[in-house]
Chains A and B, each alone.
Chain A
């Protein structure tokens, strides 16, 4: 038991080291709160439940894309029976999420996801408004 001090000291240093990110944020006053997203004002309900959209919006968008381009299906019937025109620029951004920067980008950059290239082709309606001004 002669190495007791060394062992416990080492353990304390190790614990301090691996919990550094947590303690650092505590000291700096940062919390693990997610990004603050700007939610649509006019609409209260998305085309799918919020939980599903959080985890699987990319799957829904892929399905929309597949339906519209390849199957010529232009409307989407939501879980609550409402129907929507399938359009990223027209419906998602045009009707509800008017600010891509405050919604899509804010979350994507928070979780460190490389910005998807949807908007390389699909037009942010905001872009037109700005250029038209």
Chain B
């Protein structure tokens, strides 16, 4: 059978179109598959966020249960020298945490009160924008994650973070960890670290260590994407502030005042 030139060109065109279409479809199908298969029993959210009830937190003076729990679980080293300090969650005076709320006549309920500070898991994280190796990135559920394997210790992220939420390991941290927790790796010299919203606990169905440890239940974490979640309920009923929202980082840690 002879194939005419016209017929040959028609067939080529059609088969090329089919091949291209199949590729498109494959890419579309891949895009619709949402992330990874969630582990059974894992806590998941469309957008993780944390709400801190400051009056509740202030009730227990001098309490450091949250940071103790976090630092123990995550093998955070303890350095006495401030220059070497590594911290995931800590307390600072209200005036320092909310520097942009400068007010000489601040109410006594807030003045000089120790306020919890940690990674804000920003919606527009500046640390992610500057990281040259993509060692830090925003997950689909909003958690700003870190891959310590990939961190080259350039500290751009530390310069970019307006909240001081990141710490650098100037020396090998292992010998400065009071008690090694076997379930979590330590970090090494030359690596930046910060709060990871306890993603390794969420996947096991556990709440973040700080939330669980708080005796006042002043920390609430939940899904901003769920209208009926506890965090949405709190944010809808009480006045909340965020750290340096004017910078456009869209921090996802809310403080009830």
**Residues on A facing B (Cβ under 8 Å):** 65, 69-75, 89-90, 117, 120-123, 125, 127-128, 131
Chain B contacts for A69, CB-based, 8 A: 145, 147, 149
Chain B contacts for A72, CB-based, 8 A: 35-36, 139, 199, 203
Query: CA–CA, A114 to B62, complex, Å?
Result: 48
Pairwise interchain contact A121-B148, C-beta atoms closer than 8 A? yes
| Min CB–CB distance A83 → chain B (angstroms) | 11
Chain A contacts for B188, CB-based, 8 A: 117, 120-121
Pairwise interchain contact B187-A73, C-beta atoms closer than 8 A? no
Interface SS of chain A: helix, strand, loop or mixed?
Answer: helix
| Min CB–CB distance A62 → chain B (angstroms) | 9
Pairwise interchain contact A128-B180, C-beta atoms closer than 8 A? yes
Pairwise interchain contact B37-A73, C-beta atoms closer than 8 A? yes
Whether A90 contacts B183 in the complex (CB less than 8 A), given A72-B139, A117-B188, A121-B148, comes out as yes
The contact of B36 among A71, A90, A121, A123, by CB within 8 Å, is: A71
Interface SS of chain B: helix, strand, loop or mixed?
Answer: loop
| Min CB–CB distance B38 → chain A (angstroms) | 8
The contact of A75 among B39, B148, B172, B199, by CB within 8 Å, is: B39
**Residues on B facing A (Cβ under 8 Å):** 35-37, 39, 75, 137, 139, 145, 147-149, 172, 174, 180, 182-183, 185-188, 199, 203
The contact of B185 among A74, A122, A128, A131, by CB within 8 Å, is: A122
**A-B pairs with the 3 shortest C-beta distances?**
A121-B185, A120-B188, A72-B36
Chain A contacts for B36, CB-based, 8 A: 71-73
Query: CA–CA, A72 to B204, complex, Å?
Result: 12
Whether A123 contacts B180 in the complex (CB less than 8 A), given A71-B36, A74-B39, comes out as yes
Chain A contacts for B37, CB-based, 8 A: 73
Chain B contacts for A122, CB-based, 8 A: 185
Pairwise interchain contact A127-B180, C-beta atoms closer than 8 A? yes
Chain B contacts for A121, CB-based, 8 A: 148, 185-188
Chain B contacts for A120, CB-based, 8 A: 172, 174, 186, 188
Chain B contacts for A90, CB-based, 8 A: 182-183
Query: CA–CA, A117 to B188, complex, Å?
Result: 10
Query: CA–CA, A53 to B63, complex, Å?
Result: 49
Pairwise interchain contact B186-A123, C-beta atoms closer than 8 A? yes
| Min CB–CB distance A5 → chain B (angstroms) | 64
User: Can you identify 12 A-B contacts, CB atoms within 8 angstroms?
Assistant: A69-B149, A70-B137, A70-B147, A71-B35, A74-B203, A89-B183, A89-B185, A90-B182, A117-B188, A123-B75, A123-B182, A123-B185
